[in-house]
Amino acid sequence: MHILSVGRAFPPHYYDQETLIAAFMQYWAGAMHNRQRLEQLHRHVLVGGRHLALPLEEYPKLQGFTDANNRWIQVALDVGAAAVTDALDRAGIQPSQVGAFFFTTVTGLATPSIDARLMNRLHLPPHIKRVPIFGLGCVAGAAGIARAADYVRAFPDEAAILLSVELCSLTMQRQDISIPNLISSGLFGDGAACAVVAGDRLVESLKEEGSAPKTSAPKVLATRSIFYPNSEEVMGWDISERGFRIVLSAGVPEVVKIHLRHDVDLFLSSQGLTIKNISSWVCHPGGPKVLQTFEEVLELGPDALELTWRSLREVGNLSSSSVLMVLRDTMESRRPASGTLGLLIAMGPGFCSELVLLQW
């Protein structure tokens, strides 16, 4: 199983963090007694700027969940189509070669789902197997890669695409001035990413035709899913008539500290490997404390997660899209040496983690 490419797309509205802080100070004027706390929380997440689904001045005009979700559908279709097109172009394959379409989000609702609404727009084959996924949150980028790899293992002549669209700004709860909501309003951004995963026989035929990507595609060697019992309250949404209200426990870094190294060691051991065999890391940018914990428990050097930190600074946490963005950056600008091993990691609601072993 090979990851041929990762496409991406962002809404055109980008704002630096200082502009956003000023907007939020005005947004919550009269509701907060300690406005400096908001500024402090937004600076501590180390995000430099973010893309937003809508122009900044449009958010106060949203009339509840229905209005926000309708805007989510409109923007999701635009950025989703752009991300898929980018991914297929980079992979050098035609829509007719795609056998499965996995779609994931945790920031909006649509039936028919976004993947269905993109079928005609992208001229995808009518027999394609669609698998919309909702609720995995930040872990879904890694989990989606794993499920796409499962598919092409069974159908090696085909490709599967994984599209992630996350428009976190449209989940904003104006009436909620809890610490988790204040943190999330400074941490999360908007964007879409699409990975193309191809079976072995399809990759060989692409090479024979001369249409394969110019650089070798990383192979998915193995995957593992881990669910942590009795951890459902660590992260997620409380969903009501007002929409999505963030659940974000301060204990997330502690969960990472307790479980991640053991899980990584156990997974690698099952493949006859140790952590010393891993030379590159593609990690979800959950936030500064989470990344610091990753570095600590995995005993990583100062530059091991540089691309993850950079993604956090430049676009914020994009939920399931983020780890795919880091994977694209790794493939494009810091490709590991051929034959070396890497590990792709994300964690999310459940609470759970997903591990994907790569060979470059």
Tokens of 91: 């992979």
Tell me, what DSSP letter sits at residue 336?
A: P
- Considering only CA atoms, which of 167, 137, 188, 136 is closest in space to residue 24? 188
Domain 2-209 is of which CATH architecture? 3-Layer(aba) Sandwich (3.40)
Q: Where in the chain is the domain with CATH 3.40.47.10?
A: 2-209, 219-359
- pLDDT of 215: 61
Burial of 213 (0-12, 13-18, 19+ CB in 10 A): buried
- pLDDT of 206: 82
Topology of domain 219-359 in CATH is: Peroxisomal Thiolase; Chain A, domain 1 (3.40.47)
Tokens of 222: 């193995």
- Considering only CA atoms, which of 20, 44, 50 is closest in space to residue 288? 44
User: What SS3 class is residue 177?
Assistant: coil
CB atoms within 10 A of CB 5: 26
Per-position pLDDT tens, the chain of length 360? 999 999 999 999 999 999 999 998 888 876 666 778 888 888 889 999 999 999 999 999 999 999 999 999 999 999 999 999 999 999 988 898 999 999 999 999 999 999 999 999 999 999 999 999 999 999 999 999 999 999 999 999 999 999 999 999 999 888 887 888 888 889 999 999 999 999 998 888 887 777 666 567 899 999 999 999 887 777 777 777 777 877 877 778 888 899 999 999 999 999 999 999 999 999 999 999 999 999 999 999 889 999 999 999 999 999 999 999 999 999 998 999 999 999 999 998 988 999 999 999
Beta strand pairing call for 219-227 and 190-198: unpaired
- pLDDT of 211: 66
Q: Measure Cα distances from 301 to 127, 275, 304 in Å.
A: 47, 13, 5
The stretches of 179-305 forming alpha helices (DSSP H) are: 179-187, 200-209, 252-270, 288-297
Strand ranges (E), 62-121: 98-105
Tokens of 319: 């939920």
- pLDDT of 214: 56
Query: Is 138 known to be catalytic?
Result: yes
Cα–Cα distance measured from residue 285 to residue 305, given in angstroms and rounded to the nearest whole number: 9
Place of tokens 């990583």: 300
User: What SS3 class is residue 235?
Assistant: strand
Beta strand pairing call for 98-105 and 49-52: unpaired
Residue 173 CA to its chain's centroid (Å) = 22
CB atoms within 10 A of CB 85: 16
CB atoms within 10 A of CB 341: 19
- Considering only CA atoms, which of 345, 279, 282 is closest in space to residue 309? 282
